Amino acid sequence: MKIQMKLSCAVVFAAALFFGHAQAQNVSNLTDVNGSVLNLQKYSEMVGTPYLYEDWTIGEVTFSNGQKRSNIEMKYDLVEDKPMFKGKDDQPFYFIDPVAAFSLTGKNGAESKTFKNNFPPFKNLTSGTFYEVLEEGKIKLLKKILKIISETKDYNSATGVKTVNEQTIYFLVTGDKMNPLQKKDLKTFISNVDAAKSDAISAFAGQNKLNLKNENDLKKLVAYYNSLN
């Protein structure tokens, strides 16, 4: 018999941040005093990874005061919703200064990924929550990967098994409204945009045989919509 015990929802989000004009600075200015060390013990003996990429990758970060740091070895902790950098002795650190945006080099030749915050709140997601920005324009296409740690423990067992559970949600942002795409299909997409453009959207999707369950096809449709007058 197993008793399912879920840890408290571990998706912890930063406070609301705002962009400023930035000037790039060399990563040599970034030291361990710019970060708070991560307690690695909380992620030990776990099934799955709390990170976007398990390995360190090159990234760039923009702080809310407008300063930038580039060519940093970084990770993105999706459980805590915080970017990290590699410090002394390969120790992982969270940034102390508020972060407005960051980008990570793609794996295996993939495009780099850009993450921003300061979007409208949605349920337990705040204006400080980071989203991957897939398309920008009249409407924005955002992607949010949520990771939460759960634990299962055998009856009378002193130790449990921690597992990382993952959920991905796509949003269309129109004005100050976050519209989750509960179903990634044409009908749902059209219901969240200007109805006067529905015929053009349907024609484009049909001519290009778009499958909106495919992320690249969804991006194409948003880019097309943003090109319409």
- Is residue 102 within 8 Å of residue 113, measured between CB atoms? no
Query: What is the rounded average pLDDT of the residues 163-185?
Result: 94
Residues 172 and 98: their CA atoms lie apart, in Å, by 25
pTM for the full model? 0.81
3-state secondary structure of 171: strand
Note the Cα 158 to chain centre separation in Å.
34
Domain boundaries, the chain: 2-180, 182-229
Give 35's pLDDT tier (boundaries 50, 70, 90): low
Please say whether the dihedral angle defined by the alpha carbons of residues 67, 73, 76 and 82, taken in this order, is positive or negative: negative
* Predicted pLDDT at 3: 38
Task: Convert the pLDDT of each residue in 110-161 to its tens digit.
Answer: 789 999 999 999 999 999 999 999 999 999 999 999 999 998 887 777 778 8
Q: Which of 15-29, 35-49, 121-135, 196-210 has the lowest mean pLDDT?
A: 15-29
Residues 35 and 29: their CA atoms lie apart, in Å, by 12
Residue type, 24: A
What residues have CB less than 8 Å from 28, skipping those under 6 apart? none
Q: How many CB atoms lie within 10 A of CB 174?
A: 15
